[in-house]
Amino acid sequence: MSMRKVPTATAQEKQYSAKFKTLADGTKKAVTQVYLSEGAKNARYELNTALWRVINAKGWNNTHALRKNVPVCLKTSWCFGIESKTDGKPNHTEGEWHTRKPDTDNLIKGLKDLMTDAGCFWEDDAQVCMEQTMKYWSNTPGIFVEVFEMSSED
């Protein structure tokens, strides 16, 4: 999926709000709300937009989803755009491992949720039995995604 910039905020970045609610009997009860940060909402939007661009370009629909209960392998490569220092020289080189946050497990969770919602890849992301996730610096930002059914030999 080609992207202007790979999002660095993840679905794990939640914010909390606590309030007191007055009940009918006059007692107060603490109520906590959990919600996505603005960065996480924007990241989800960017990922979803890029994912649907690919789905529409390929003409996929829910008939392309893998069968229910079939084990699936998911491979992803997250290509983070090479940033430039103030002097105009890049901070990183093409192919250099991206060793900063976000963590790979946090990156993949949001993408898997969106792929499940799309209905074109699998019925339930619990079918993903094997994952390989890489992240590195690249002159061309984006995410490479490969999904395939696993056989009993895998």
Q: For the stretch 70-104, what's the b/e string if a residue is b when 16 or more beta carbons lie within 10 angstroms of its beta carbon?
A: eebbbebebbbbbeeeeeeeeebeeeeebeeebee
Mean pLDDT taken over the chain: 85
pLDDT in tens, 25-81: 988 888 877 767 888 888 889 999 999 999 999 888 777 667 778 899 999 999 999
More confident of the two residues 154 and 144 = 144
Pick the CATH number of 14-149 from 3.30.1330, 1.10.3430, 3.40.50, 3.30.70: 3.30.1330
pLDDT at residue 65, as a whole number: 66
Is residue 5 over pLDDT 70?
A: yes
Q: What is the pLDDT of residue 11?
A: 63
**Structural domain boundaries in the chain:** 14-149
Question: In this structure, are residues 42 and 7 in contact, taking their beta carbons and an 8 Å threshold?
Answer: yes
Query: Percent of the chain scored above 70 by pLDDT?
Result: 90
